[in-house]
């Protein structure tokens, strides 16, 4: 099971663990709102598609490998991740938004959950099948981290 834990109070550095063994890190730049994901076999960047847009792209060696769009202006936020000619949907499943469900398509098959250990916690766990690549799970958690930080700034 993949878990990500914040390593500082500024919520800009996270360690990535696979069954309690550290395998990488995530660094968030507050200035550019960019996430840098470092894994043993991959280095990825999740950044804004363009500086004035809320859409995100995931880049590896400056090539786009996934795209993230948001359902805006709704009480039930949804994030659409386009990867490998498929659209995955990530959405909160409870009022406190500590659990997020991943499905294939808007009404598609349920794949798994990503859970934040508490309302004020910076620890996330992905309960997803082994067929979901680690880098993709990290991107999903980065989406949730960005969403929660944006919510906190707005309140």
pLDDT confidence of residue 136? 97
For position 87, which CATH number holds? 2.40.160.200
pLDDT confidence of residue 155? 45
Q: Rounded CA gap, 54 and 107, in Å?
A: 24
Q: Rounded CA gap, 81 and 84, in Å?
A: 10
Domain that holds residue 74: 2-154
**Under the phi-then-psi rule, with left for phi > 0, alpha for psi from -120 to 50, and beta for the rest, what region is 53?**
beta
pLDDT confidence of residue 1? 87
Tokens describing residue 21 = 């063994």
3-state secondary structure of 97: coil
pLDDT confidence of residue 95? 81
**Total domain count for the chain?**
1
pLDDT confidence of residue 33? 84
Residue-level pLDDT, tens digit, the chain, 155 residues: 899 999 987 889 999 999 889 999 999 998 888 999 999 999 999 999 887 777 999 999 999 999 999 876 677 789 999 999 999 999 999 887 889 999 998 888 999 999 988 777 789 999 999 999 999 999 999 999 988 877 655 44
How far, in Å, are 77, 116, 146 from residue 21 at the CA level? Answer: 32, 19, 24
Q: Rounded CA gap, 126 and 134, in Å?
A: 10
Whose tokens are 């809320």? That residue is 54
CA–chain centroid gap for 54, Å, is: 14
8-state DSSP, 139: H
Among 124, 150, 142, 127, smallest CA distance to 37 is for 142
Q: Rounded CA gap, 11 and 7, in Å?
A: 8
Q: Rounded CA gap, 137 and 21, in Å?
A: 16
Among 39, 53, 145, smallest CA distance to 100 is for 145
């Amino acid at each position: 099971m993949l878990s990500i834990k914040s390593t500082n109070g500024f919520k800009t550095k996270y360690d990535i663990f696979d069954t309690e063994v550290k395998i990488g890190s995530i660094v968030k730049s507050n200035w550019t709102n960019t996430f840098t994901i470092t894994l043993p076999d991959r280095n990825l960047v999740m950044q804004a598609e363009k500086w004035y847009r809320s859409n995100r792209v995931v880049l590896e060696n400056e090539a786009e490998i996934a795209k993230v769009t948001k359902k805006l202006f709704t009480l039930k936020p949804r994030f659409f991740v386009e990867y490998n000619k498929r659209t995955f949907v990530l959405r909160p499943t409870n009022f406190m938004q500590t659990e997020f469900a991943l499905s294939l398509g808007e009404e598609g098959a349920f794949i798994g959950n990503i859970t934040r250990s508490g309302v004020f916690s910076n620890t996330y766990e992905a309960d997803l099948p082994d067929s979901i690549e680690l880098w993709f799970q990290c991107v999903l958690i980065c989406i949730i981290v960005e969403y929660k930080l944006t919510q906190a700034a707005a309140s």
